[in-house]
């Protein structure tokens, strides 16, 4: 016997249509170079339809990928909604990757059209010859079309001015691709994760639950997490779904600019990696800001230290640790105290809040041993974390590494964790020796390979160590070739043109030899223990 239910698909246009029908006058506010730009949901919907018509005129068909290379703005939100609603696939490109990875991502995804903020255009121009699939580039900005060496270039506002807004959205399959995002990469090239309409809508519902973010139309949501980073943690979609006021910080926002928005617009919800929150604390503790409107600040990307939670508690702001990955769209667990835990002493509550927390409804977690057998939830056993759920990816886009990423129908996260009897997750280590700095991945293997490309380097190992501001930073351990003379500055100069600037090791230590395991691999755990008390040089 089957349930007799209406067959209405869960798709992105349903989120937009709900918001514009019920909350047409609610605003989207963006910080710009000349002040605050404001547009209502009614205007957003009309511009999204014009944008969809512009995509059709540019030859974009259902299933085609449309890339974005942009900061958090109202125009980027228009793309978030118009591209998947038209049947195409939104591909947000991480502007912080180094050029070779950016070119790889755009080409591997086969982006047909690329939307670029005018201030970021110079970053793309040197890659023009490598962007073989891109047929057109659309520049977003308020001024005239800037001079550029790129061909087939259009101005965003000109395209919208010519677009129609009277056509209906096509009927879409909820299982069709809506968006895609590439992991920052640990070893090798970044991996593409494709999200269905259904996955993004279900994640939006999850974020609105009382025990997660509890989003509602009463909220003013500031999306600080980059829109090129795991869909800005899904907030543009979930905030649209409930008709919340949305705030976007524009290009290169610093702590002061973020706090001005929080204070001036009475923001109730924002989110960010620990690095961003630490930057805000520096401003908050040095000046006078009114952030009393904030009711919750989800924080993730790397482990949230208890000290950060405590410092925000003293300011009357609740920081909630969230955990997820690009592969989990991204919210998977959230660390909110349960009712019986509210009676505990403050120190114990902060310790619990510093765990990665409980899986949100719809997500299942488990830990397994080296043989893949599930381990008990006793808070003692440690194993590799695996997850599954309706918004967890089932494979990478055209990537043979998919077969190694799944086990028995579960996604293998590569994280090592324990799970308490009540289902609370704590990640204790990473199976792979990647370094997470300010919410972004740094590959130790790629740094090692680059270092060993220097003619005077015999061996090199890179490990991640705690850092007060960035949570983790790379420390390079180098064995010079016999008779060679090396300096820290010379090696950093060697690395500079070969890796992203933020990948550069904060320190380089010269050693006589490197420890290895019985099978000849670098013993990185031993190195981490040996250098646990390492003092970073002054900036």
From CA 341, how far away is CA 351, in angstroms rounded?
11
pTM score of the predicted model: 0.84
Cis amide bond preceding 45, omega within 30: no
Which range among 286-290, 318-322, 436-440, 490-494 shows the weakest confidence by mean pLDDT?
436-440
Cα 33 from Cα 36, distance rounded (Å)? 8
> Which one is catalytic: 92, 233, 436, 503?
436
Give the span between the Cα atoms of 13 and 170, in whole angstroms.
9
CATH number of the domain encompassing residue 423: 2.30.38.10
Where a domain ends, among 253, 283, 305?
A: 253
pLDDT on residue 518: 36
The one catalytic residue among 71, 410, 441, 470: 441
**Span 356-385, pLDDT tens digits:** 999 999 999 999 998 999 999 999 998 899
Task: Look over the chain and give the mean of its residue pLDDT values, rounded to a whole number.
Answer: 92
30, 73, 183, 333: the active-site residue: 183
Question: d(Cα 512, Cα 421) in Å, to the nearest integer?
Answer: 46
**Is residue 326 in some structural domain?**
no
Q: Is 536 inside any structural domain?
A: no
Q: Given this model, what pLDDT does residue 279 score? A: 86
- Residue where a domain terminates, one of 396, 411, 430: 430
Strands 65-69 and 89-92: parallel
Q: What percentage of the chain exceeds 70 in pLDDT?
A: 97
Q: Is 122 exposed, middle or buried (0-12, 13-18, 19+ CB in 10 A)?
A: exposed
Looking only at the bridges linking them, the beta strands covering 153-155 and 177-182 are unpaired
> Is 461 found in the same domain as 394?
no
3-state secondary structure of 38: strand
Residue 77 counted as domain residue: yes
Domain boundary among 430, 463, 483: 430
Q: Find out whether 411 and 385 touch, Cβ atoms under 8 Å.
A: no
Q: What is the DSSP letter of 499?
A: S
Residues 102 and 147 in one domain: yes
Catalytic residue among 327, 386, 440, 472: 327
Distance in angstroms (rounded) separating the CA atoms of residues 133 and 59: 13
Q: Is residue 183 annotated as part of the catalytic site, yes or no? A: yes
Is position 502 annotated as part of the catalytic site? no
* Res. 519 pLDDT band, cuts 50 70 90: very low
Q: How far is CA 147 from the centre of its chain?
A: 31
Angle between helices 235-242 and 74-85 (to 10 degrees): 80
Active site annotation includes 441:
yes
């Amino acid at each position: 016997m089957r349930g007799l239910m209406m067959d209405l698909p869960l798709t992105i246009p349903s989120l937009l249509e709900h918001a514009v029908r019920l909350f047409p006058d609610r605003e989207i506010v963006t910080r710009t170079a000349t002040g605050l730009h404001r547009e209502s949901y009614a205007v957003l919907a009309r511009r999204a339809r014009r944008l969809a018509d512009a995509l059709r005129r540019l030859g974009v068909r259902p299933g085609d990928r449309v890339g974005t290379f942009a900061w958090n703005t109202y125009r980027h939100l228009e793309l978030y909604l118009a591209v998947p609603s038209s049947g195409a696939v939104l591909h947000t490109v991480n502007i912080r990757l180094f050029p070779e990875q950016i070119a790889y991502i755009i080409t591997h995804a086969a982006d047909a059209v690329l939307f670029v903020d005018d201030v970021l255009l110079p970053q793309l121009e040197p890659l023009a010859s490598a962007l073989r699939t891109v047929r057109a580039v659309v520049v977003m900005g308020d001024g005239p079309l800037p001079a550029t060496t790129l061909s087939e270039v259009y101005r965003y506002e000109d395209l919208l001015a010519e677009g129609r807004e009277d056509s209906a959205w096509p009927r879409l399959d909820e299982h069709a691709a809506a968006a895609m995002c590439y992991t920052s990469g640990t070893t090798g090239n970044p991996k593409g994760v494709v999200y269905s309409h259904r996955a993004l809508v279900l994640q939006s519902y999850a974020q609105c639950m009382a025990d997660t973010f509890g989003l509602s139309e009463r909220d003013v949501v500031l999306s600080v997490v980059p829109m090129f980073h795991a869909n800005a943690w899904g907030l543009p979609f979930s905030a649209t779904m409930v008709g919340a006021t949305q705030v976007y910080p524009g290009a290169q926002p610093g702590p002061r600019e973020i706090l001005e928005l929080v204070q001036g617009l009475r923001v109730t919800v924002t989110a960010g990696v620990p690095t961003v929150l630490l930057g805000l604390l520096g401003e908050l503790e040095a000046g006078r800001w009114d952030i009393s409107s904030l009711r919750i600040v989800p924080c993730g990307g790397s482990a949230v230290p208890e000290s950060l939670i405590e410092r925000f508690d003293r300011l009357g702001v609740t920081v909630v640790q969230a955990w997820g990955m690009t592969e989990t769209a991204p919210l998977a667990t959230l660390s909110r105290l349960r009712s019986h835990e509210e009676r505990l002493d403050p120190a114990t509550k902060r310790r619990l809040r510093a765990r990665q927390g409980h899986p949100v409804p719809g997500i299942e977690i488990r830990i397994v041993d080296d043989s893949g057998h599930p381990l008990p939830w006793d808070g003692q056993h440690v194993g590799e974390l695996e997850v599954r759920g309706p918004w967890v990816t089932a494979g990478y886009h055209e990537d043979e590494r998919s077969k190694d990423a799944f086990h028995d129908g579960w996604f293998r996260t590569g994280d090592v964790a324990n799970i308490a009897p009540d289902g609370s997750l704590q990640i204790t280590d990473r199976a792979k020796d990647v370094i997470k700095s300010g919410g972004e991945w740094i590959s130790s293997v790629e740094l090692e390979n680059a270092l060993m490309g220097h003619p005077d380097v015999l061996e090199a190992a890179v490990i991640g160590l705690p850092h007060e501001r960035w949570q983790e930073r790379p420390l390079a351990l180098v064995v010079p070739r016999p008779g060679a003379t090396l300096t820290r500055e010379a090696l950093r100069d060697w690395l500079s043109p070969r890796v992203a600037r933020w990948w550069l090791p904060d320190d380089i230590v010269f050693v006589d030899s490197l420890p290895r395991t019985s099978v000849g691999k670098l013993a990185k755990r031993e190195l981490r223990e040996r250098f646990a008390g390492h003092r970073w040089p002054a900036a």
